[in-house]
């Protein structure tokens, strides 16, 4: 079975997998792309023989709505981290923001953040980061198909992004802030789609549990 689950804030993707495993009693459960604990939204779950489809699903485009707080940076590039830098906020217009956004549309090279689940030499980067170790990370080729301004009320900038697999929206937010002449970090991230799986059709874990009970009883 393939399920479109709404991952809540503060849950890890593995927390959701574990919960679905408990509900479904399936031994084999996986997901099609990690969402950071601070993020929420679409997490595609596969069970049983359908876990074979997850690799293909994880390779599809993603869309997100992000909230970027300008003027302060954290070590994780999100609200989970420790503030590492404070920077004055210049006066920024919507037109200037859109000009900066245009620089990030298309084919890009992005360096994965230290606080991420990506592995280097078999070790997840966040485990090294927690030991204050910084290692070389090779840039990853990504595509930003669309970057849309939603709103700006100093110091909060909201935007929509349609991107390829492997894009770190935290890094994108960090880079946007730099181009705007300041620093920043994400305070909210909602994944609104993974390929054909959209947030409007996603189920909470409780809804999934009720659906599963009605099918199996």
Which amino acids are annotated catalytic? 36
Which phi-psi region, left, alpha or beta, contains residue 130 (left: φ > 0; alpha: ψ -120 to 50)? alpha
Q: How far apart are CA 106 and CA 41, in angstroms?
A: 24
Q: How far apart are CA 50 and CA 191, in angstroms?
A: 22
Question: Do you find a cis peptide bond into 8, omega within 30 degrees of 0?
Answer: no
Which phi-psi region, left, alpha or beta, contains residue 122 (left: φ > 0; alpha: ψ -120 to 50)? left
Taking residue 132's Cβ as centre, other Cβ atoms within 10 Å add up to 8
Exposed/middle/buried for residue 164 (C-beta within 10 Å: 0-12, 13-18, 19+): middle
Closest CA to 123 of 132, 111, 135: 135
> What H or E segment, with its residue span, contains residue 108?
strand 106-110
């Amino acid at each position: 079975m393939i399920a479109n689950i709404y991952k809540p804030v503060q849950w890890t993707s593995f927390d959701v997998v574990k919960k679905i495993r408990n509900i479904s009693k399936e031994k084999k459960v996986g997901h099609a792309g990690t969402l950071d604990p601070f993020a929420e939204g679409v997490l595609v779950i596969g069970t049983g023989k359908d876990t074979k489809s997850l690799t293909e699903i994880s390779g599809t485009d993603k869309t997100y709505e992000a909230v970027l707080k300008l003027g302060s940076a954290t070590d994780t590039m999100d609200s989970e981290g420790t503030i590492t830098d404070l920077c004055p906020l210049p006066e920024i217009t919507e037109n200037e923001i859109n000009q900066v956004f245009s620089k990030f549309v298309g084919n890009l090279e992005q360096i994965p953040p230290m606080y991420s689940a990506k592995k280097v030499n078999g070790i997840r980067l966040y485990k090294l980061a927690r030991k204050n170790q910084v290692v070389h990370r090779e840039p990853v080729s990504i595509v930003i198909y669309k970057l849309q301004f939603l709103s700006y009320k100093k110091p909060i900038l909201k935007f929509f992004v349609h991107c390829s697999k492997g894009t770190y929206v935290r890094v994108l937010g960090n880079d946007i802030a730099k181009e705007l002449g300041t620093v920043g970090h994400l305070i909210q991230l909602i994944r609104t789609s993974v390929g054909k799986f959209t947030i409007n059709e996603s189920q909470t874990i409780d809804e999934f549990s009720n659906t599963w009970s009605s099918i199996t009883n």
